[in-house]
Amino acid sequence: MNLVRLEACIECSGYGAQSAEEKQRLLKLMRNLNFNGESGSEPYTPTAQSLGGVAGSDGFYSPEFRGDFGAGLLDLHAMDDTELLSEHVVSEPFEPSPFMRGDTRVFEDDFDPINSKLESGEADTDASISLPMNSTRENNVAKIKVVVRKRPLNKKELAKKEDDVVTVADNAYLTVHEPKLKVDLTAYVEKHEFCFDAVLDEHVTNDEVYRSTVEPIIPTIFERTKATCFAYGQTGSGKTYTMQPLPLRAAEDLVRQLHQPVYRNQRFKLWLSYFEIYGGKLYDLLSDRKKLCMREDGRQQVCIVGLQEFEVCDVQIVKEFIEKGSAARSTGSTGANEESSRSHAILQLAVKKHSEVKASKRNNDGNEARSGKVVGKISFIDLAGSERGADTTDNDRQTRIEGAEINKSLLALKECIRALDNDQIHIPFRGSKLTEVLRDSFVGNSKTVMISCISPGAGSCEHTLNTLRYADRVKSLSKSGNPRKDQVPNAVPQTNNKDVSSTSSFPASSGAEDFNDQRQEKTMDMGRKFVEKENSLHSSAAASVDKQPVSYSSNYLSNGRDEKGFPSASVDRERFEVKNSHGDSTSQKMNSYSQSDTDEKVQKVSPPRRKGYKDEKSERSANWMKKDANDSDLFTTSSKQQSTGNYSTLSKDEKSERPAKWMKRDATGADLITTSSKQQSTGSYSTLSKDEKSERPANWMKRDANGSDPFTTSSKQQSTGNYNNITTGSRINETESSPDGNVSAVLEEEEALIAAHRKEIEDTMEIVREEMKLLAEVDQPGSLIDNYVTKLNFVLSRKAASLVGLQARLARFQHRLKEQEILSRKRVPRQ
């Protein structure tokens, strides 16, 4: 009925004067929108209080304001009306008064004037009512902001005379000084350096925290932004202390904005809800912990059945709600915090726009919240402690189960944020209840602020590092990254690195650290190999002309990008955290690559000098060798080298000889993907001089021995894959009995998947380069189509194999997640 009316309104309104095309567009939009709010799938939330709810908080909880169902449905996706609108952002200079009227361009593009007019029955009039958008400001607010907050040492820590091991510099950098012991029990300190969007030390007040985190987001809430602010960290690190004042401050600012005439006239209102996720279940903290249930409607939109929403127009009321809700939270005592939150608490402030006509109608049946369309909202999440129940005091079964559940949701949350920042189409929100609930915060206009809370005490060092690594991962793997971060290697004083290097002969670290170190080494290797590969590609092309030795790109190393601007997040990331347990810090390593050790590195990967052979053919072999040695990584087969540039410079004989060899390999039925490198090297080997033959294996050995085997044949890939599988598999077996062990296994598999994905991208890039070369070759006059066909076939097979490999790994990982979910469901006892 409404749709018909709306269509009629479009016809009659000023929009009717527009082009037929425009009209069609609007009608289509209308049909997609869910205006009526009366359909069965619409959430139902009885109003808590009409305007001016200052009249005592009792009224907010009185039963008459609750529906039969206990309360009703809150449609977390009441945003659908806005989501369908254009995401167009108008770049205009920031204006101090963001609430100006009359910018028709913004009006048309960004707000939903039709909706606004039709809902209020003002379709024909009042075209000036609009939400002024300040796109510039919105753009200025980062999509993801990662802030770290360090709390002061608490009484317990002071009593134990714990050292403060965290130092903060320039409000953006911090160093963790980890006390360690060598095998001979000599104490030493290992430094870990990090950089974030902001680092707030122990002297920073809650008010300042608000100003550097949430305040900049507030105006964007009126611009259809769904913002999420969450605190992450070990138990007792100050998450609740940090999060509790934020909604209050935010509400203060939101209420102030709502009093602006433009919003008041349009009946914008602020609504509050507060619930928690405990053991995978939802409880309403403002309704005597009533159990809630989450449902997906026909449009796959998440609704929380029964959740109470309260209109708030006064900060005092918000305060009362927060206090009431917080008192109802699930807490328990952990080793580090007597009042530890064992749940994720989510407080949502939603700005809704109400139609006057409908609102007055609905006031009678207590359904006002439902009648409003969400303009924007902000969710404050106080996450449960991030530690994995590893403390001896936390080893009871329930705590460990909670820990596993918490970890699962933290993992899922990280994945969603990452996907979100990378503008991925698929956001893995189904990974946990937490992310499912926050689903609408992961689509459309969204902003995320993560506040990582850390404890400064030496006794919390390991947890602090874990928190910082999680935060670093959220930030550094994101597309937007951290521009400041890129400057860190230069920004970090040299003395730090020296300090670190002075403690270079460290004992092997254990457990999780080992894994982290391995991961870092792996990533480092990848970054380095990529540099080597890139350079050898460039230099090998040059080498055929001027035979210059291969050199590293210091550019690449210094800014994390190669000359072509290809980013290397992994390289960036590795530069921040100085890991020293293997005797060479990461930053040091990177520095050494880019500076004094360049020659040494080049030597390590350079081919032996050839003597005596002067004819073109042997020179060609030398070039191949050179490439093999420098470049073999990242490429599943060395045939890449054959098919690249050099081919075009081959003599005619060679040209005809080459494809014959490839054909032969094809004809032997050998799997070019899995064995080609071996074959390739064998093939090359047979054409080598005696000297070369004896030198080659030595080089391979060397490469194998130093662990950075750039001889990245597919067999290496496979073995890497197998290694990952085996280690993960065995780890899983080892930890099968413990819930958090399973989570660790998932985390590790996740790392392996991501590494494989990176590798796949690099391989694909190489393959694309080859394909382009192939095309260039085939375009040359007199080119042989047979050669082209053979090589193309080969290249495409590799491409397919690379994808299939990654897909298989992905499927395994998905399977693992599923298993984990089932296990944790089994473990969590029914409430």
Ligand X SMILES: Nc1ncnc2c1ncn2[C@@H]1O[C@H](COP(=O)(O)OP(=O)(O)OP(=O)(O)O)[C@@H](O)[C@H]1O
Annotated binding site: 233-240
CA 110, CA 112: separation in Å to the nearest integer? 7
Residue 565 structure tokens = 């601007």
Q: Is the Cβ–Cβ distance between 637 and 542 less than 8 Å?
A: no
612, 638, 613, 637: which is closest to 624 by C-alpha?
638
DSSP label of 292: E
Of residues 340 and 728, the one with the C-beta less far from ligand X = 340
Side chain identity at residue 727, one-letter code: T
DSSP label of 567: B
Of residues 384 and 752, the one with the C-beta less far from ligand X = 384
CB of 337 to ligand X, least distance (A): 4
Of residues 74 and 434, the one with the C-beta less far from ligand X = 434
CA 404, CA 558: separation in Å to the nearest integer? 40
Of residues 334 and 642, the one with the C-beta less far from ligand X = 334
Of residues 287 and 326, the one with the C-beta less far from ligand X = 326
CA 180, CA 420: separation in Å to the nearest integer? 38
Of residues 74 and 410, the one with the C-beta less far from ligand X = 410
Tallying the residues shown for the chain, one arrives at 831
CB of 474 to ligand X, least distance (A): 18
329, 362, 267, 372: which is closest to 65 by C-alpha?
362
Of residues 151 and 791, the one with the C-beta less far from ligand X = 151
CB of 323 to ligand X, least distance (A): 15
CB of 339 to ligand X, least distance (A): 6
CA 712, CA 119: separation in Å to the nearest integer? 63
Q: Which residue has the tokens 């075209």?
A: 127
Contacts of 716 (CB under 8 A, 6+ apart): 677, 709
Of residues 344 and 816, the one with the C-beta less far from ligand X = 344
CA 452, CA 239: separation in Å to the nearest integer? 8
Side chain identity at residue 201, one-letter code: D
Binding site feature residues for ATP = 233-240
Q: Is the Cβ–Cβ distance between 550 and 602 less than 8 Å?
A: yes
Q: Is the Cβ–Cβ distance between 147 and 452 less than 8 Å?
A: yes
Q: Is the Cβ–Cβ distance between 329 and 282 less than 8 Å?
A: no
CB of 453 to ligand X, least distance (A): 6
Residue 408 structure tokens = 């699962």
Dihedral in degrees, nearest 10, Cα atoms 821, 824, 826, 831: -120
Of residues 120 and 466, the one with the C-beta less far from ligand X = 466
CB of 460 to ligand X, least distance (A): 11
The region that residue 261 occupies, defined by phi over 0 for left and psi between -120 and 50 for alpha, beta otherwise, is alpha
HSE, CB side, 13 Å, CA atoms: give it for residue 603. 5
CA 41, CA 39: separation in Å to the nearest integer? 5
CB of 235 to ligand X, least distance (A): 3
CB of 151 to ligand X, least distance (A): 3
CB of 46 to ligand X, least distance (A): 32
* Cα angle, residue 172 at apex, residues 171 and 173 outer, rounded to 5°: 110
Of residues 154 and 544, the one with the C-beta less far from ligand X = 154
Q: Is the Cβ–Cβ distance between 454 and 166 less than 8 Å?
A: yes
CA 367, CA 354: separation in Å to the nearest integer? 11
227, 192, 215, 212: which is closest to 148 by C-alpha?
212
Of residues 392 and 510, the one with the C-beta less far from ligand X = 392
Q: Coil, strand, or helix at residue 647?
A: helix
Of residues 241 and 566, the one with the C-beta less far from ligand X = 241
Q: Which residue is nearest to ligand X (CB)?
A: 238
Residue 3 structure tokens = 């749709």
Contact footprint for ligand X (CB under 6 A): 151-152, 154, 233, 235-241, 334, 337, 339-341, 384-385, 453
Of residues 7 and 391, the one with the C-beta less far from ligand X = 391
CA 491, CA 403: separation in Å to the nearest integer? 37
Of residues 384 and 753, the one with the C-beta less far from ligand X = 384
CB of 275 to ligand X, least distance (A): 17
CB of 94 to ligand X, least distance (A): 32
Distances from the Cα of 736 to the Cα of 389, 740, 744, 819, angstroms: 16, 9, 10, 11
Residue 574 structure tokens = 């590795």
CB of 360 to ligand X, least distance (A): 43
Q: Which residue has the tokens 């995401």?
A: 87
Could you count the other beta carbons within 10 Å of the beta carbon of residue 201? 17
Of residues 333 and 715, the one with the C-beta less far from ligand X = 333
CA 543, CA 800: separation in Å to the nearest integer? 31
Distances from the Cα of 341 to the Cα of 274, 277, 345, angstroms: 15, 11, 9
CB of 602 to ligand X, least distance (A): 49
CB of 469 to ligand X, least distance (A): 17
User: What is the secondary structure of 363-397 as a DSSP string?
Assistant: HHTT-HHHHSEEEEEEEEEEPPP-S-S-SGGG-SH
Q: Coil, strand, or helix at residue 16?
A: helix
DSSP alpha helix (H) spans, 632-781: 639-643, 646-649, 652-667, 672-686, 690-705, 714-735, 739-779
Q: Is the Cβ–Cβ distance between 180 and 165 less than 8 Å?
A: no
CB of 468 to ligand X, least distance (A): 15
